Structures are given as structure tokens and as C-alpha cells.
Structure 1
Amino acid sequence: MTTHTLDSAPESRQARMPSAGSAGPLRFIGILRSEAIKLRSLRSTVWSYAVLVLVSVGLAVLLAATLASAPDEQLPAEAQTAVVMQVIVFPIGFAQLVAAVLGVLFIAGEYGTGMVRSTFTAVPRRLSVLWAKSVVLFAATFIVGLIATVGGYLASAPFLARSGIIAPLGDPDVVRAAVGGALYLALIAVFSLGIGTMVRNSAGGIAIVLGIILILPTVLQVIPTDWAANLVPYVISDAGLGALGLQSDVPGALEPWQQLLIVLGWVAASLAAGATLMKRRDA
């Protein structure tokens, strides 16, 4: 009797334990919730997203007001749509800097405070933390980016209408500009998250990301060689802004889907390098 009870105890405990397949998704959902709470609790998140929206809307209105002050000239429908797209996308070049800074701070700040040790103690599988951070940061930045692009469209529409420039929000090209702009901002944030994971330092990570986004294209342009000029379209910032479809008329320009693949390649490389170093190094 005793032998039977002792032998059956491990079996009963094993029966009560959830299988790895069923516990895995639930565990990852819990990590997602934890990272979402962290993102919301960061003071840098609030001001970063606020600045992103304000800069996007403000610059869209500024450009629209400038266009409205130009001499009246009736444009064909396609040209009007192109102008509206330009107004929506123009602020992205500045908003991407805010998204990049936030992406670095989301992980590097945790390393700086030492809080990452507690995170890895609770979640020994470190890569799950990185994937959860990526998902949360991407989703949050995409939503805020969409608010910024749509807000810029709505705020600038009255100014553009004064010059007879009208394109409905439901126009496929306008939707592509608004959604594409938000998507690019989200990808820049995740790319910067990977850089922050590699560097584990806020100042260093921000310097590297801004160097890649701002300085690298300029350096390549001033190098008096063909190979350097040919590399410019493959920089993440140039490819990302081009993926919105505003450079399709430039001779030799890549197709928007090709430029999107280039951006995704940068993001994948950043996350892969960050994941490799996160797994190998001590917290």
C-alpha cells in the first residue's frame, strides 16, 4: 500500500502540472503584460510619445500653411494627393528620432538601473523578454504613430483646402502614407531596441542609432565614389522614407516593397545581434 502510494505520487504531481506546450503561450502573455506595464510606467514613454505626436502634427500644419500661402494654382487630382502625402510623411523624418531614442531607453535604461537582473530572475529564458519587448514596443509605437499621421492629416486639411488641395483620408495613397509612416516609426523603435540591447548603455545606444539614421547617409553622400552613392538607398532611414512611395518617380529608385524589405533586414539584423549578445553575456 505504501509502495503504491509513493510510486503514484510523482505521477499525480506530473498529471497536475501543465504541459510545456500549454504553459508556454500563457507564460509569454504574462511577459507581454509585464513589459507593457514597464513601458507605460517609464516617464520617457509619456514625453517621447507626446513629443512624437506634437512634432508630427505641428510640422504637418507648418508645411500645409506654407503651401497654402503659395499662389493659387489648381492642381490635378493626382498632384493634390501627392501633396497631401508629402504633408503626412514630411514630419516622419523628425519623428523617427524620437522613436529611436525611446527604443534604446526601453532596454538600456533597464540595464542602467540594474532592474534587468530581476527581470531575468523572473524569466530565465532571456530571449522571451527581448521578443516581448519588441512586440510591445512595436504595437505601442505603431498606434501612436498612426495617431500622429492621421492627426497631421486632419490638422493640415483646412490649410490645404484653402489652396484647393483636397484628398480624402480614405484615398489609397493617403492611407498608405499614414499607415506606412506609422509602420516605419514602429520598425525604427524596434531597430533601436536591438541596438540598445547590444550596447546596454543609453547614451551610447542613442549615439549609434542617430549616427546610423542621420550621419551615415551624409557620410556616404560626401564620399566621391560611386559605390558610396550606391549604398545610400540601403541605409535604413533612406529606405524607410522611400518605402512610403514618394520616390517612385526617381530614376533608378527601388520599389517601395524592396525598400520595406531593406528596413526589415536592418531590424532583423539588429534584433539577431542583440539576442545573441543578450544570451551570451551576464546581466
Structure 2
Amino acid sequence: MTVVLAELTKLRSVASTAWSLLSAVGLIVGVGILYATARVSHPPADPAGFDAVSVSLAGVQVAQLAVGVLGVLVVTNEYANGLIRTTLAAVPRRTPMLWGKAAVLAAVTFAVSLPAVLAAFLAGQSVLSAERLDTSLSEPGVARALVGGAGYLALVALLGLGLGSIVRHTAGGVAAVFGVLLGPQMLTGFLPAGLADDLYGWLPSPAGLAVTTIRPDPSLLSPSAGPAVFSLYIAIVVCIGAWRLRSRDA
């Protein structure tokens, strides 16, 4: 508990935390409204297959970059200013320190993201109602998608934490976050169409974002399988980060 409280104090005392979370909130809501407005301007030919929830949560796909960067900074800021030596002197066993950072980062990211996701949903549905494309919070799968969207962002923050622990440099960690979240989709563009379609749903970002859908999408895994695959990716990265933390001096 002492480690968790110490990590919470450090997270709150860094200006980058507030700016990253504020950026994430603005992107979740702002992009969601913009995309909903664009879809109203070009309504679908078949409204039955229209996923109003994923449209209003489109901002989650952009906000993931902000929270991923936050996760990197939680680790690399301490290496940059030398505070990591003080931290490790206070907590000689290194992995409890990393688990404390992970617990605080995930909890704070989820707590901030959930109201933003709900606001994006309500605002997006208000826009979509102009063409009667909206849905309600009581519809099956909607609550799961909203909570899942916030959970996805919490996992992305942990991805940044793991990559920051591996790389230990802010620029390299941020580049790694962008590479993991965006790079695989770009690379599949060079593959044959059939193979690219088969692989797409298993890529990190598409797998995790499957939880924000309520309509079947053949290009994605199911809303339960997708997050499970994404969680596995995160677990691997964080475990490698823990190994690096234990095997290398600060």
C-alpha cells in the first residue's frame, strides 16, 4: 500500500499527467462528436448494420496515443531526472515498484476515461439522432462497450509503461507506442488482401478496440476475444519491462 500511495503522489505531482489526461478527454469527446457529425452528413445505406456506439467512441482510437505517451512518461521521467535512484533505494525490490506504478496508472486512466467515454456516447447519440441513427444506453452491449472503451485506454497506458521500462528513454518509448499501436496496420497494407484481412483482427489495436463495437464486424475478433488477445500483448510487454528493470541498473 505504501508503494501505491507513493506512486500516486508522484503521478499527481508531474504536469505531464494532467496534460496527457486532459488531451485524452478532449480527444475522446471531440473526435467522437466530429465523427458522428460526419456520419450524419453521409448516412449509411443500410441503417440496420450501423454501429452507433463505435461511431461515438471513435475518439478512443485517437486518445490511445495520449494515454500511451503518459504510460511512457511515468517511467522515463524518473530516469531523465535521476529520481529512479531514490525510488529504487526506497524500494529495493524493483518489481513491486513497477506493479505499484501499473496499478495507479491503470486506475487513474480508467477513472478519467470512463466519464469521458460516457460523455462522448451521449453527445454522439444526440448528433446521430438527427438521422435516427442513435441508440440508447439500455440497449444490449452498450454499457459493456463504454466500460470496455475506458478499460482499453487503461491497458494502453500499461503498454506505454511496459515500453518505457524496456526503452528507458522518452523519445524511444513514445516511438515504440506509436509503432505498436499503428505500425502493424500499416504493414498489413503490403500483404495480399486475403492474408491482411485474416491478420487484421489479431493486431494489437484492432483486437482491443473490438470491445467498443456492438454490431458484428467480420474484420474484428468478438468483443470478448479481442480484449483477451490485447491483454495478452500487454502482459508480455509489461513482463519484459519487469525483467529489464530487474536485470539492469538504473
Verify the 8 A CA contact 1:73 1:163 in the aligned structure 2. Answer: no
Query: AA paired with 2:12?
Result: R
SS for the counterpart of 2:134 is: coil
Choose 190-199 or 208-217, whichever is displaced more. Answer: 208-217
Residue among 229, 234, 247 paired with 1:262: 229
Give identity over the alignment, percent. Answer: 36
Give ranges in structure 1 of 5+ residues lacking alignment.
Answer: 1-28
Q: How far apart in 1 are the matches of 2:139 and 2:112?
A: 21
1:105 aligns with 2:73: yes
Verify the 8 A CA contact 1:88 1:177 in the aligned structure 2. Answer: no
1:166 aligns with 2:166: no
Verify the 8 A CA contact 1:88 1:178 in the aligned structure 2. Answer: no
1:208 aligns with 2:176: yes
Q: Aligned-residue CA RMSD in angstroms?
A: 2.3
The CA deviation at 1:113 is 1.0
Listed one character per residue, the Cα deviations across residues 118-161 of structure 1 (whole Å, up to 9, x for unaligned) are 00111111111100010001111111111221111222233222
Verify the 8 A CA contact 1:68 1:162 in the aligned structure 2. Answer: yes
Larger radius of gyration: 1
Q: How far apart in 1 are the matches of 2:35 and 2:15?
A: 30
Choose 226-235 or 54-63, whichever is displaced more. Answer: 226-235
Q: How far apart in 2 are the matches of 1:227 and 1:281?
A: 39
- Residues 208 and 258 of structure 1, relative CA distance in 2, 3 Å threshold: same
Verify the 8 A CA contact 2:24 2:66 in the aligned structure 1. Answer: yes
- Residues 191 and 160 of structure 1, relative CA distance in 2, 3 Å threshold: same
Listed one character per residue, the Cα deviations across residues 228-273 of structure 1 (whole Å, up to 9, x for unaligned) are 664433221121112333573316x432222111111111101110
The CA deviation at 1:65 is 2.2
Query: AA paired with 1:210?
Result: F
Tell me the residue number matched to 2:249: 282
Tell me the residue number matched to 1:217: 185
1:44 aligns with 2:44: no
Tell me the residue number matched to 1:149: 117
Give the total of aligned pairs: 250
- Residues 245 and 66 of structure 1, relative CA distance in 2, 3 Å threshold: closer
Tell me the residue number matched to 2:61: 93
Listed one character per residue, the Cα deviations across residues 193-240 of structure 1 (whole Å, up to 9, x for unaligned) are 011001111100111110111122211331348666644332211211
Listed one character per residue, the Cα deviations across residues 23-52 of structure 1 (whole Å, up to 9, x for unaligned) are xxxxxx111011111111111111111111
1:175 aligns with 2:143: yes
1:130 aligns with 2:102: no
Q: How far apart in 2 are the matches of 1:31 and 1:39?
A: 12
Verify the 8 A CA contact 2:75 2:164 in the aligned structure 1. Answer: yes
SS for the counterpart of 1:111 is: helix
Q: How far apart in 2 are the matches of 1:204 and 1:195?
A: 9
The CA deviation at 1:167 is 2.0
Listed one character per residue, the Cα deviations across residues 53-94 of structure 1 (whole Å, up to 9, x for unaligned) are 111111111122233345699956xx56x22x1223211110
Choose 157-166 or 109-118, whichever is displaced more. Answer: 157-166
- The TM-score normalised by the length of structure 2 is 0.91
Query: AA paired with 2:242?
Result: A
1:199 aligns with 2:171: no
- Residues 72 and 124 of structure 1, relative CA distance in 2, 3 Å threshold: closer
Tell me the residue number matched to 2:210: 242
Choose 166-175 or 144-153, whichever is displaced more. Answer: 166-175
- The TM-score normalised by the length of structure 1 is 0.81
Verify the 8 A CA contact 2:164 2:173 in the aligned structure 1. Answer: yes
The CA deviation at 1:102 is 0.5
Tell me the residue number matched to 1:23: none
Verify the 8 A CA contact 1:74 1:164 in the aligned structure 2. Answer: no
Give ranges in structure 2 of 5+ residues lacking alignment.
Answer: none
